[in-house]
Amino acid sequence: EEQRDATNNITTLSERQMQVLALVADGRTDNEIAIQLGLSAKTISSYVAHIRHRFEAQSRAQAVALAIRQGLLPDPDSPEEGG
Q: What is the pLDDT of residues 9-49, one digit of tens each?
A: 678 899 999 999 999 999 999 999 999 999 999 999 999 99
| Helix-helix angle 30-37:15-25, to 10 degrees | 130
pLDDT of residue 83: 43
Name the burial class of residue 7, with classes exposed (0-12), middle (13-18) and buried (19+) by CB atoms within 10 angstroms of its CB: exposed
Cα–Cα distance, 1 to 76 (Å, whole number): 30
At 79 the pLDDT is: 74
In contact, 63 and 52? CB cutoff 8 Å:
yes
Q: What is the pLDDT of residues 38-76, one digit of tens each?
A: 999 999 999 999 999 999 999 999 999 999 999 999 888
Model's pTM, two decimal places? 0.81
Residue 1: what pLDDT?
Answer: 44
